[in-house]
Structure formats: C-alpha cells, structure tokens
C-alpha cells in the first residue's frame, strides 16, 4: 500500500501566485516516488540509492591519544570521509570496515583495537592508547567505508515535466539542487546517510513557501526601541551569546551572523536609525558560565556585558537548553534585574533546532512544536515579565513544511547553523518591528 502526501507548492518566480491545488507524493517502491500534479502530469521518479564510499590508506600523523571523556567528534583524529566542519557527522561510518595499519600497503601490519588504539565508531574518531605499539610521531593508515547525506529536489519544469534533480552528496549540510525562475519546487527527498529504502520520514513535500507571519503584540520594550530608531537617537545593541552568536565557523562571518543581518535590515526599515552593534560571545558556554567568571576574565559578565552599557541586549544561548522552566525563571530574573539597573532593554532569542537526537526527536517531519522545556520556559518568562521574545524556534520547527530538513542547515551536523539558519534569527527579530 502506498502512502500519499499532499503539498501546496509555489512557483519560483517573482509575482506569481501560489498554486491552489495540492500536489501528492506517494511511495510506490523502495526507491520510487509517484508525483501527481492535479490538472498536470503524473510521474513516478526513481531515486538513486545512497552509495558507500571506500577509503584506502588514509594517512594520519601523528596520531593523538584517544580521549574517551571528550565529545565524540574530538576524541581523537577525525576520519576525513565523515568530517563536517570542525566536527564529524555521526552514523556515517560503516563500523565493521574500520582497519588501522602501520603502512599504506594492504599487507602492512594491522593494529589491534583496545590494545593499540581506540575508536568511536559512531563519530569516526580514533587515537592511540597507553601501551600502544603506535609511536607518538608515527604515521598510521586507516581504511574504511562511509556514507554521505544527500538532498534531491523534485521540480516541475517550465515545460510542464516533473523531474528529479540529484543533490551533491556531503558529510554534512547537503544542499538541494537549484530551482530556476519559472519552475515549481514540489519538494525534496532526503537521504540522511546509508538507508536500505525510502521511508515516510525521507519525503519533504513543500507545504508552504515561507513561514506564515502573523501579528505580534508589541511589548513595552519594543515600543521604546521603535521610538529611538525613528528619532535617530543612538541605539547601542549588544549581541550576547555562545558560538552561534560568535560564529567564527562562518567563512562570511562579518555579513552572515544573525546580529549583522538583523541590524542591516533594521537600518533599511528605519532610515534615520543610528545603530552601534557590539558582540560578546563565548563558544561552548552558557549564561551560567558568564556569571561564574571572575573579574578580569575576557568573559566576566559584569565587565563585558553590563559595563559596556548597551541600550539593547539580545541574548542567544542554545547552550542554556538544559535549563528547566523554573531554572529559567530564577536565572533570567537575575539577568533582568541587572539589565533594568543599567536601563537596558532585553530581547531573548529562542534557540534553533539542533541534532534531532539531541532534542529527543526521531524524525525531521511533523516537528512544529519544540519539545525542549527550556524553550517553553523562555516563552513563559518573556510573557510574565513583558520582555521582548524573538521566537526563532517556531521558524525552525516549520522548515520541514518548506521541504527543508532542519539538520541540512547545520554545518557541523550538530548545532552550528549556516547563513540561511542565521537569517531565521534575523527574521524572528524583524517580526517584532513590523
């Protein structure tokens, strides 16, 4: 029995109205998807299965000591085939294929796991252990097999044909092929690694062309900020956060960071605005880390946040996501009191979606509602204290409706959004300033 999914799709062309009739996707075989366009073509598309790539004698020198207490992606040397940005992508390595030798030749001596080296087979990292035959400065050679991710686009061409365009396989953040003006993007097929057949969770029809904007009640915070923007009075904005705010991992960091995108848009909306943008960010840390730093530290809270006397603080801390609502109320109430004492306004950004398994999600479809208690805690806190809330989480939660698996925006396959993901933060902030 086939499963059928419907989507309202748009034509990718300026000035064209959204299509009113749904298009259906149906699984008709392990690798077959039937696409039906009402009043148009019916086409069954064959999706190319993922392939396992073989790597022979990949050289690593020197081999670091394996650290079992570190995160999986930094326990040791990283296999090039599964390397994302600064991390590796989990679950792409074929565990049984991993072989470590002391030379590039196929008859070179094989090292023994647990005796000479240890490996994290989920994350594709490995290193030598105490008593190993591998010397500290010795080159080693590893052979293995691995999968890649891929995002294929289903497109209705300008001449009325349904076609499947295969995306470029990558270890992380696979991009869908380009859809040209005058074509209709019907959806995407997501291959998250090596799979034996297509499942429902791999189908991403385009249900909506963009996030459905709605009116947001204006808080006192936003009212005061709008007056400053309209008058031309100086507005000093401090973007305060973790690695997502720092964004040193972005090649085009100076133009793509969420705070830069937001300020540029704000200046266009308010031509008289006089905005000064500052950033204070600390990768891998959270608000508690800042509060615990001693005087003189590069990230001491009082010296680097309060002392710069911002007019507006915008906070982004996905690393606070372990907090429960009661903990949000306790900690963020202290922050609010401190900000009020220096007469600073505050807008809180809800966090983006990260790796599905880190959010206790088993799929990337039907995930509109963020399951993290922290996010609910932020919403409750902002409503209770009349603090500005830019709800980026809502926008990430609906990406699947736009045919986009949210993990394809994560450059490190964990929690670092690309420029498109940064734009969603800017979208959420601009929604407060209609």
Dist. CA 391–CA 375, nearest whole Å: 9
Other beta carbons within 10 angstroms of residue 116's beta carbon come to: 19
**β-bridge partners, 152:** 189
pLDDT at 145: 98
The token duo for 170 is 């990558």
Dist. CA 363–CA 342, nearest whole Å: 44
Query: Average of pLDDT values for 324-332?
Result: 98
Query: Average of pLDDT values for 188-197?
Result: 96
pLDDT at 13: 30
Dist. CA 312–CA 229, nearest whole Å: 12
Distance of CA 280 to the CA centre of its chain: 21
Residue 83 scores a pLDDT above 50: yes
pLDDT at 21: 62
Query: Average of pLDDT values for 282-306?
Result: 97
pLDDT at 18: 45
**β-bridge partners, 188:** 153, 204
pLDDT at 4: 42
Query: Average of pLDDT values for 222-227?
Result: 94
Query: Average of pLDDT values for 230-249?
Result: 97
For 34-43, 54-63, 272-281, 300-309, which range has the lowest pLDDT when averaged over its residues? 34-43
Structure letter (DSSP) for residue 133: S
Calculate what percentage of the chain has a pLDDT beyond 70: 95
For 156, phi then psi, to 5°, come to -95, 110
Structure letter (DSSP) for residue 306: I
Q: Can you give the length of the chain in residues?
A: 434
pLDDT at 11: 32
pLDDT band at 22, cuts 50/70/90?
A: low
pLDDT at 7: 43
pLDDT at 218: 87
Q: Which of 346, 336, 280 is nearest to 308 (CA)?
A: 280
Mind giving me the DSSP string for 44-104? EEEPPPP--EEEEEEEESSPPBP-TTS-GGGSSEEPGGGB-SSSB-TT-B-GGG-EEESSS
- pLDDT mean across residues, the chain: 93
Residue 216 scores a pLDDT above 90: no
Dist. CA 76–CA 59, nearest whole Å: 14
Q: Which of 145, 191, 199 is nearest to 170 (CA)?
A: 191
pLDDT at 8: 39
Give the containing element (helix H, strand E) for 361.
Answer: none
With vertex at residue 397, the alpha carbon angle to CA 396 and CA 398, rounded to the nearest 5 degrees, is 90
Residue 75 scores a pLDDT above 80: yes
Give the domains, in start order, of the chain with CATH numbers: 4-50+149-205 (no CATH), 58-146 (no CATH), 220-430 (3.40.50.1110)
């Amino acid at each position: 029995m086939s499963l059928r999914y419907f989507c309202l799709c748009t034509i990718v062309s300026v000035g064209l109205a959204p299509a009113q009739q749904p298009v259906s996707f149906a699984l008709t075989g392990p690798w077959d998807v039937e696409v039906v366009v009402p009043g148009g073509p019916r086409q069954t598309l064959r999706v190319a299965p993922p392939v396992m790539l073989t790597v022979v004698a990949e050289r690593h020198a020197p081999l670091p000591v394996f650290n079992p207490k570190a995160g999986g992606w930094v326990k040791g040397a990283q296999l090039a085939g599964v390397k994302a940005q600064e991390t590796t992508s989990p679950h792409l390595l074929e565990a049984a294929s991993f072989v470590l030798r002391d030379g590039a030749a196929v008859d070179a001596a094989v090292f023994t796991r647990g005796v000479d080296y240890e490996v994290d087979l989920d994350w594709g990292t490995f290193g030598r252990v105490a008593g190993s035959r591998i010397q500290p400065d010795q080159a080693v050679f590893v052979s293995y097999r691995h999968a890649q991710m891929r995002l294929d686009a289903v497109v209705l061409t300008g001449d009325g044909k349904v076609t499947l365009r295969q995306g470029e396989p990558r270890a992380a953040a696979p991009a869908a092929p380009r859809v040209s003006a005058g074509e209709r993007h019907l959806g995407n097929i997501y291959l998250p690694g090596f799979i034996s057949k297509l499942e429902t969770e791999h189908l991403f029809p385009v249900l909506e062309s963009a996030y459905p904007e709605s009116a947001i009640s204006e808080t006192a915070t936003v009212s005061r900020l709008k007056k400053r923007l309209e008058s031309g009075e100086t507005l000093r904005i401090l973007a305060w956060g973790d690695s997502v705010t720092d964004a040193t991992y972005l090649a085009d960091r100076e133009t793509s960071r969420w705070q830069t995108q937001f300020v540029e848009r704000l200046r266009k909306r308010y031509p008289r605005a006089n905005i000064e943008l500052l950033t204070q960010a600390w990768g891998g840390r959270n608000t508690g880390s800042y509060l615990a730093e001693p005087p003189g530290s590069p990230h001491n809270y009082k010296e680097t946040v309060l002392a710069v006397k911002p007019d507006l603080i915008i906070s982004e801390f996905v690393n606070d996501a372990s907090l429960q609502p009661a903990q949000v109320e306790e900690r963020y109430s202290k922050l609010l009191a401190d900000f009020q004492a220096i007469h600073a306004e505050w807008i809180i950004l809800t966090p983006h979606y990260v790796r599905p398994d880190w959010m206790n999600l088993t799929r990337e479809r039907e995930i509109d509602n963020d399951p993290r208690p922290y996010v609910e805690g932020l919403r409750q806190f902002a409503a209770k204290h009349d603090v500005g809330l830019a709800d980026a989480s809502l926008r990430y939660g609906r990406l699947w409706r736009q045919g986009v698996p949210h993990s394809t925006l994560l450059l490190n396959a964990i929690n670092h959004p690309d420029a498109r993901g940064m734009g969603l933060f800017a979208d959420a902030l601009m929604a407060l300033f209609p």
